[in-house]
Structure 1
Amino acid sequence: MFKKATWLHLRLPFSYFLLPIYLFAISISPNLSEGGLLGLFLILHFFIYPASNAYNSYFDKDEGSIGGLKNPPKVDKNVFYIAQLFDAFGLALTIYFFPGNWTLLLMILTYILVSRAYSYSGVRLKKYAIVSWLIAGFFQGAWVVWLIYIGLNDFAFSSIFKLHVLIPGLLASAILWGSYPMTQIYQHEEDGKRGDETLSMKLGITGTFHFTGLCFSVAVLAYLWYFNTYWQINYGLYFLLFMSPVLVFFSWWYLKTRKEKNQANFKNTMYLNLISATCLGGFFLYFFLHSSQILNVVGVY
């Protein structure tokens, strides 16, 4: 039986921060089913993501705060075992909900293997600043959008190269590439102890804010272009409206940190993550309900 400390390292609430990716992916899917929507939601948010968190915790052995866990308990072998168990359950549920969809199964397995290479001491992609930034943003963003698309529609892998599928995946990664260094901003000391050189360490605290601000500005322009080109500009305007609280908090935090470097801490990072996930998730939920015509079907409009 796993101890409470073991379960804590799964960091289940942390899956909330990746929920907007799921909502964006289902918004562009032409085929929706209750079983498919539920299956992918459970597989990713309750098994694959938590398993990755636990696996990362096992090899990081952080003593300070980590994403979603302010005071992480010491890790032992049970953390490693529970990561294996949750990955196995995730793969088993993939076969159960999507029988015969081997492309989806292989894509989820690839995600698992890459997330392990990110943390595993024998490979440890995490210690390479640029490589880890690119891989984490790509696989948690674009790759997840595409595997959800393939899972829901049972399409061939080649379908991801169609522009109306390829572009949303890259847009999902664009948001993560902007936010990823901010998740590292309070961990410079911990990462340095392990010999990891993160992108945020290279940029410095102020540089991390500047880099994130630039990435988000480019990402917002890209989203506006996407909605104007493939949907309606109104969606782009709503996107700006939903994201405005993120801009307000980010600006306030930036100014605070310019005066006091210790404001680049766990608490403010988690606030930014929470606000970003809630605003993005709220927008993509709105986008999903309108683009899928579900509201019309149930008679809301």
Structure 2
Amino acid sequence: MFRWSNWKHLRIPFSFYLMPVFFFALALTPNLSGETLVIVFLALHLFLYPSSNGYNSYFDKDEKSIGGLRNPPKVSVGLYYLSLLFFLIALALGILINWQFVSMLLVYGLVSMAYSHPSIRLKKYAYGSWIVAGFFQGCFTFCMAYAGLSKFGWEVFSKSHVIFPGLLTSLMLWGSYPLTQIYQHEEDAKRGDLTLSLKLGIKGTFSFSALWFLIAGIAFTWFFIDRGQTHVIFAFLGAMLPVVLYFILWFYFVRENPERYVNYSWAMWMNRVSALALNVFFIWYFLENTQVLQVF
């Protein structure tokens, strides 16, 4: 279970790409507590997400590059048990918050297991997996983090001031999700997984993502205007500029030579640029919105 190859499949550093959702929830949470912040962060990013990565890797048995692993090692049954151990630790940490947060962690974990488990395998349904992955990694995670950080319960899912910003994160993920599949067409087709990117084709994937990025940008702009934070719009657009430029540059190269530029390296750099830009922006927004620095 504790072989190095199994630990590699947990892809713990890959949690960096999902941190913007946490920092956005942190920026809007009404109750700040250092201890609670650490517990929720560790439960999500050190245990829940790696557990999901490892569990899905075990059933996917990928032979070519996957997110966070250029050359994934062969999986063993030890990976299955290691992923479950990480899941149990995440739930145990959740107990330190409240039972509602534990139940949210449980729901997220079960849905992520359904993504690759052969009895359900949401991954093989193009639009179904796109909707589910974008919603749970975005809106559901935002609400879960918001609830955990403030020690609230499931009632947060009925609050418009929580659901709406949560849906904003899903809009971003619905745009980026197909791009994470674009270099895996051959292996997905071989397994019978009709992913959204495979269904759309290479150029269709870029066009589809561009549309959702535009929708997300407009929605975020409206959100900040509605909160009377027009100055934040310029910071947001500034953070998104390198992401947009990279996307346009990548798409240009792909149109010229898709066989050369549709690969793991370009897709991962798209993830890195967007995650870095969004993490920096939402950390800044957290400091700006909560004015926490004025306490010191």
TM-score where L is the length of structure 2: 0.98
Matched, 1:179 2:201: no
In structure 1, which of residues 164, 173, 176 is the aligned counterpart of residue 161 of structure 2?
164
Partner of 2:264: 266
Partner of 1:23: 23
In structure 1, which of residues 100, 107, 110 is the aligned counterpart of residue 107 of structure 2?
110
Partner of 1:86: 86
Could you list the per-position Cα deviations for residues 103-134 of structure 1 after superposition, in whole angstroms to 9, with x for gaps in the alignment?
11111100000000111011101100000000
User: Counterparts of 1:103 and 1:94 in 2: how far apart (Å)?
Assistant: 9
- The alignment of Structure 1 onto Structure 2 pairs a total of residues equal to 295
User: Counterparts of 2:158 and 2:121 in 1: how far apart (Å)?
Assistant: 29
Gaps of 5+ in 1: none
In structure 2, which of residues 248, 273, 276 is the aligned counterpart of residue 275 of structure 1?
273
Partner of 1:142: 139
Q: CA deviation at 1:9?
A: 0.3
Letter in 1 for 2:30: P
Contact 2:51 2:84 in 1 (8 A): yes
After TM superposition, list the pairs within 5 Å mapping 1:206-225 onto structure 2.
206-225=203-222
User: Counterparts of 1:64 and 1:143 in 2: how far apart (Å)?
Assistant: 30
User: Counterparts of 1:160 and 1:56 in 2: how far apart (Å)?
Assistant: 27
In structure 2, which of residues 152, 155, 159 is the aligned counterpart of residue 155 of structure 1?
152
Partner of 1:291: 289
Label 1:55 to 1:231 Cα distance change in 2 as closer, same or farther (>3 A): farther
Contact 2:135 2:170 in 1 (8 A): yes
Contact 2:101 2:153 in 1 (8 A): no
In structure 1, which of residues 240, 264, 278 is the aligned counterpart of residue 237 of structure 2?
240
User: Counterparts of 1:188 and 1:153 in 2: how far apart (Å)?
Assistant: 41
Q: CA deviation at 1:156?
A: 3.4
User: Counterparts of 1:172 and 1:161 in 2: how far apart (Å)?
Assistant: 17
Q: CA deviation at 1:236?
A: 1.4
Letter in 2 for 1:56: N
Q: CA deviation at 1:155?
A: 2.3
The Cα RMSD (Å) is 0.9
Q: CA deviation at 1:158?
A: 2.1
User: Counterparts of 2:237 and 2:68 in 1: how far apart (Å)?
Assistant: 27
Q: CA deviation at 1:161?
A: 2.0
Partner of 1:59: 59
User: Counterparts of 2:48 and 2:149 in 1: how far apart (Å)?
Assistant: 17
User: Counterparts of 1:66 and 1:272 in 2: how far apart (Å)?
Assistant: 14
Q: CA deviation at 1:231?
A: 4.0
Q: CA deviation at 1:150?
A: 1.1
Letter in 2 for 1:69: L
TM-score where L is the length of structure 1: 0.96
Could you list the per-position Cα deviations for residues 209-235 of structure 1 after superposition, in whole angstroms to 9, with x for gaps in the alignment?
001111000100000000000240111
Letter in 2 for 1:19: M
Matched, 1:203 2:200: yes
Q: CA deviation at 1:241?
A: 0.4
SS of 2:201's equivalent? helix
Runs of 4+ in 1 over 6 A off after TM superposition: none
Contact 2:147 2:153 in 1 (8 A): yes
After TM superposition, list the pairs within 5 Å mapping 1:13-52 onto structure 2.
13-52=13-52
Matched, 1:189 2:189: no
Could you list the per-position Cα deviations for residues 172-229 of structure 1 after superposition, in whole angstroms to 9, with x for gaps in the alignment?
1110000000000000001111110000001100010001111000100000000000
